[in-house]
Amino acid sequence: MARFRSVPKPGEVIDAHRLIGPVPMDDLPVDPRPEMDRLGVAAACVTHTLSLHSDAAAGNEALLALNDPRLIPVPVVVPGVPGASTPGGPGEVTAWDVRMIRLCPKRHGFELTGPIALRWLAALNLPVAIDFAETSPGELHTLARELPGLRILLLNPGYRRLRAVAELMAEIPGLWLEMGTVNTQGGVEWLAGLYGADRLVFGTGAPVMDDCGPRFLLDHLALSSDETAAIASGSLRRLLSAPGSDALPLFEGPHPETSSPPEAAARPAAPSFLNPSARPEPAPLLETSTRPETSSPPEAPGSRGVR
């Protein structure tokens, strides 16, 4: 019978990339906390699905209404001329008092390296999370050249473009990488050996993307315990803690072997927009599903993305 070597579990685990809210045309969990409890994830950086798929302003409003320290808000920012931006200007973003913002230039139709976006990012001096599918290596090189102090978290890099990803990490010292989709054998270890584990962060993209695979990968990396701990949470803490700012608080999340089942776990009640039974009607933008009545019943499994 095959035997597997004992691998020490990382301590605190923070998911750098998670979504909350309803996902169009799919029956996926709206509240991420039960799954976080099940997988032993202490906290997560979260973006509201409305900000990605519908209305950035409405999604950000719902996101910023969260009152759970385990859910670290990452609102979507859309730089633009007056009347075509979300929010109205960099000052409003500063007033949110968030640690990171998300940019979706293709989805929301703006130039990542255009003059307005560059002015906004320079004024904000916040880390920015960008999905690799939303940009290009050339655009990221230009962005880093124009704003050399900018901290960038590259989401969903995948494993088919590791040469391009490695070149980005070599040329842009301020680029961190979400490792959840680097699921080729030895890929995470290769990047850690070249550029250091302190530039790799644990992230899943759940619930649209799978979270069990990245969590398993984190537990079985062929790296030292210090390197694994850096990927699990230390690297993200460094990314989100700018000089002079308050440190990210320590989270005492459950561990898979010791935590209670999700339905019994003690945690704050979900806000109304995360709990369909508690919110008033009508609320068409915040429906948990946009499936027509003829679609599969809720108990049918959703079509989860496979990493």
At 115-159, the pLDDT tens digits run 999 999 999 999 999 999 999 999 999 999 999 999 999 999 999
pLDDT at 281 over 80: no
- Average per-residue pLDDT for the chain: 84
| CATH number given to 14-242 | 3.20.20.140
* 179-213 pLDDT per residue, tens: 999 999 999 999 999 999 999 999 999 999 999 99
Query: Using CA atoms, how far apart are residues 68 and 88, in angstroms rounded to an integer?
Result: 26
Q: Name the band, by pLDDT with cuts 50, 70 and 90, for residue 293.
A: very low
Largest CA distance in the chain: 66
Please state which of the ranges 159-163, 219-223, 275-279 shows the lowest mean pLDDT.
Answer: 275-279
Residue 25, CA atoms < 13 Å, CB-side half-sphere: 3
Specify the pLDDT at position 11. Answer: 84
Q: Name the band, by pLDDT with cuts 50, 70 and 90, for residue 252.
A: low
Helices (H) and strands (E) in the chain, counts: 12, 8
Specify the pLDDT at position 37. Answer: 96
pLDDT at 282 over 60: no
Per this entry, what is the length of the chain? Answer: 307
Q: Is the CB of residue 19 less than 8 Å from the CB of residue 49?
A: yes
Q: 21 or 293, which is more confident?
A: 21
pLDDT at 170 over 70: yes
Chain-centroid distance, C-alpha 66: 16
Specify the pLDDT at position 251. Answer: 75
Q: Name the band, by pLDDT with cuts 50, 70 and 90, for residue 9.
A: low
In this structure, what token pair is assigned to residue 286? 């915040």
Residue 38's closest CA among 225, 307, 264? 264
Q: What strand order describes the sheet that includes 128-131? A: 101-103, 128-131, 152-155, 175-178, 200-201
Q: What is the DSSP string of 240-272?
A: H--TTSPPPPP-----TTTSPPGGG---PPPPG
Which residues are CB-neighbours of 29 under 8 A, at least 6 positions away? 35, 207
pLDDT at 296 over 60: no
Specify the pLDDT at position 24. Answer: 86
- Which residues partner with 206 through β-bridges? 18
pLDDT at 226 over 90: yes
